Structure 1
Amino acid sequence: MSRARAVGQRVPAPVIDIVLVSVAAVDVWLNMWEHTRLGLALAAVGCAALVFRRRFPLGVFLLTLPVALMQDVAVAVLVALFTLAERSRNRRLLAACVALAAVASSTPWPLAEVDRTMTLVFFVYGLATAAAPVLFGQLLQAQRDLARRLVDIEEAREHERALHAQAVLARERAQLAREMHDVVSHQVSLIAVRAGALQVAAKDADAKDAARTIRSLSVTTLDELRTMVTLLRASGGHATELTPQPTLADLRKLVESSGTRVELSGELPPTVGTPAQRALYRTVQEALTNVRKHAPGARACVELWQDGDDVGVTITNSPPTRPSLSLPGSQLGLVGLRERAEVLHGTLEAGPTKEGGYRARLRIPLSAD
């Protein structure tokens, strides 16, 4: 049944209509008892009406009843019954149509003396014949309903799986938020407190300045941690007010609080988009962090520049003046910057210089968004 239905879906409807009308016409011509003008006209109307069986199934069936008067088994009537059964859910109507078809096929034409026994036999035979396409049409209708029901069930299961995945993600985010709040935030708070105490107690100017920088960075980190914890606890279920993202206007403050001797030069046009400004800021932030970690005592130069339709920043640092400490790192900072640059259709180049320092260069289109 499914194979026949698939074939029916591939063949255009007009082709099917032409074939059915042709088969019904040939059936009438070969099996009609008497080829009178009236009989031929009624048969022609009944066969031609099959073209409209999809839009007017009941009307087409009624138009094919005269064909059933003229022969025992009429293709036109069976096709009309099948179409009506495929589209109608009114069981009483279908039963009445089966009875009408059986009566039409068992009634002698032209009307003459009626043999009750033979008429009853023909009626039972016509009843069984007319019931077959109705049952087949109802079966096809039930199959379509079942297919739609299976699709609805599958969609409901997909939705249930999505909800389950969201619930699992929400629990994981909530657990991560608790860990960040209870462990990381606590430790950063201790760093800020110790740095504040060192700033007050230290007598050396360099030590005071270093303690002030540590305390400032710790406070900033705490603010960012609180924002991240808030976002994680929201679990994507409700809108959460986001902390304003950094732009080029915040670059000088970043340089001054970096704890490194940095020279900032160059300017960029005010038409630089917000995503591009954020990428430039994050690149400088990561580069200066790497200078502090891997090149203690080095000087850094941050240069903003524009080259035609591209803008960018170059961060260059000198060789370290003292050995670097072994600090934990994810080794993914530059990888993340390259991915950010690729999203904006830009490039990031990073590598050591001939003088023993390091250089990172970001280039992105001015119109990046």
Structure 2
Amino acid sequence: MTRRVPSWLVDAVAIAAAAVEGVLTAIGEESITGLVVSMVAVLALTTRDRWPVPSFVATLPAVVFPGAVVAVIVTLHSVSSRYRNRWLLAGCWLVASGIVALPLFDLAPEFWHTDMLLGTIYFTLTAGAPILLGQFLHTQRELALRLDEVKQAREHERRLDAEAILARERNQLAREMHDVVSHQVSLIAVQAGALGVSTADPVVKQAAENVRQLSVNTLDELRHMVNLLRASGTPATELTPQPTLTDLERLIANSAIDARLVGAAPQDLEPPAQRAIYRTIQEALTNVRKHAPGASATIDISHDDTDLTVTVTNTPPTRPDLALPSARHGLVGLHERAALLGGKLHTGPTSDGGFQLQLRLPVGTARG
């Protein structure tokens, strides 16, 4: 693994080189003024990380007199490392190359003189080199951040795929359990009903009716449990407490998104409805974090006599996102949850470039 050079060491070398050049140049010119100007340029290097452009401007006089160029090259690199504005960088490049080449006008008889042209080319490249290096390092840092985001996104996709596989297995298990168990229990109920009709013994008739009624109740409970299994999409569903609306504030606070909650749901909602609302908001916030970096979100919960509505709306992203593949397992699961409760899920972009997810549940189903 390559070790990075400490930033303080780079700063110390740059300042020392600029100071040595300034002192030697001022001594060669035998000028106190040149020494003072050079020292001002060296002091400007200490503030280039916080104020790169003012520091660059402060180093320009040292280029004209006594002719020290190290400080301006270092500040040019700082400006290029901080900013992406092409006009700003082009302006700094032209100013720096022009000032560095300014003494040539006193030495060359005309602009088209060979020495003048070669000197201009040399100083233009000299001023352009730190700008190109700064842009390269800036791009390298951005690429490292993007690679880290890609790594996290791929890990998230792997978790989604694993959850989708588990959900399919649970659905298969639910269907098999329903087909096998309900068939056997139905036979028990039929046989008990036939026994109750064919016998004249009141004790046997009552026992047969009890068996038949218990079988019917068992079938109802079985269908309810199958619906719960098919609605579950996470591997921890069986062993951990299911989330409720009281967990919403913690979910929003831990989402790493600028999100706010507006409105509230009724207090007497059934647990399946509370889980559906929680999972819907959780998936919406996950999608905002994944597909709209830097966006803020508003979670609105409202209800009337017929419907309970949960709307999650996010603003357009403020940072560029990556075109990552997505199997949309989360939205598919939300549609299934809404359908099990007799509701609907709507998703789509907004007019300002954001996105909106809306869950609508019948109040009668949500309250039981």
Query: Which of the five TM-score ranges fits, normalised by the shorter chain?
Result: 0.5 to 0.7
What's 1:121 paired with? 118
Shift of 1:14: 5.1
Pairing partner for 1:58 from 30, 39, 53 = 53
1:46–1:67 Cα contact (<8 Å) kept: yes
Alignment of 1:242-281 (within 5 A): none
Shift of 1:132: 1.2
Shift of 1:48: 0.9
TM-score by length of 1: 0.53
2:60–2:99 Cα contact (<8 Å) kept: yes
The reply to whether residue 25 of structure 1 matches residue 19 of structure 2 is: yes
Pairing partner for 1:7 from 1, 4, 8 = 4
- The one-letter amino acid paired with 1:20 is A
2:23–2:38 Cα contact (<8 Å) kept: no
Residues 181/202 of structure 1: CA separation in 2 closer, same or farther (3 Å cut): farther
Gaps of 5+ in 2: 243-368
Pairing partner for 1:150 from 147, 152, 158 = 147
Identity rate of aligned residues, in percent?
Answer: 48
1:72–1:106 Cα contact (<8 Å) kept: no
Pairing partner for 2:190 from 189, 193, 210 = 193
Instruction: Classify the secondary structure of the residue corresponding to 1:59.
Output: helix
What's 1:177 paired with? 174
1:106–1:122 Cα contact (<8 Å) kept: yes
Residues 203/125 of structure 1: CA separation in 2 closer, same or farther (3 Å cut): same
2:166–2:233 Cα contact (<8 Å) kept: no
What's 1:313 paired with? none
The reply to whether residue 82 of structure 1 matches residue 93 of structure 2 is: no
Segments of 4+ in structure 1 off by > 6 A?
207-210
* Distance (Å, rounded) in 1 between the aligned partners of 2:85 and 2:9: 29
What's 1:47 paired with? 42
* Distance (Å, rounded) in 2 between the aligned partners of 1:113 and 1:191: 112
Stretch of structure 1 that moved more, 190-199 or 142-151: 190-199
Aligned residue pairs, count? 231
TM-score by length of 2: 0.53
* Distance (Å, rounded) in 2 between the aligned partners of 1:214 and 1:104: 102
Shift of 1:99: 2.4
* Distance (Å, rounded) in 2 between the aligned partners of 1:197 and 1:61: 99
Residue by residue over 1:80-135, the C-alpha shift from the partner in whole angstroms, topping out at 9 and shown as x without a partner, is 111111122122322232222222222239x9665544444332211111111111
C-alpha RMSD over aligned residues: 3.6
2:63–2:99 Cα contact (<8 Å) kept: yes
Residue by residue over 1:216-250, the C-alpha shift from the partner in whole angstroms, topping out at 9 and shown as x without a partner, is 6645543432222111222439xx9xxxx9xxxxx
Residues 40/202 of structure 1: CA separation in 2 closer, same or farther (3 Å cut): farther
What's 2:227 paired with? 230
- The one-letter amino acid paired with 2:14 is L
* Distance (Å, rounded) in 1 between the aligned partners of 2:182 and 2:93: 80
Shift of 1:187: 1.0
* Distance (Å, rounded) in 2 between the aligned partners of 1:51 and 1:98: 21
Shift of 1:25: 0.8
Residue by residue over 1:323-351, the C-alpha shift from the partner in whole angstroms, topping out at 9 and shown as x without a partner, is xxxxxxxxxxxxxxxxxxxxxxxxxxxxx
Gaps of 5+ in 1: 246-369
* Distance (Å, rounded) in 2 between the aligned partners of 1:55 and 1:125: 30
* Distance (Å, rounded) in 2 between the aligned partners of 1:89 and 1:217: 74
- The one-letter amino acid paired with 1:88 is Y
1:105–1:122 Cα contact (<8 Å) kept: no
The reply to whether residue 108 of structure 1 matches residue 103 of structure 2 is: yes
Residues 138/70 of structure 1: CA separation in 2 closer, same or farther (3 Å cut): same
What's 1:97 paired with? 92
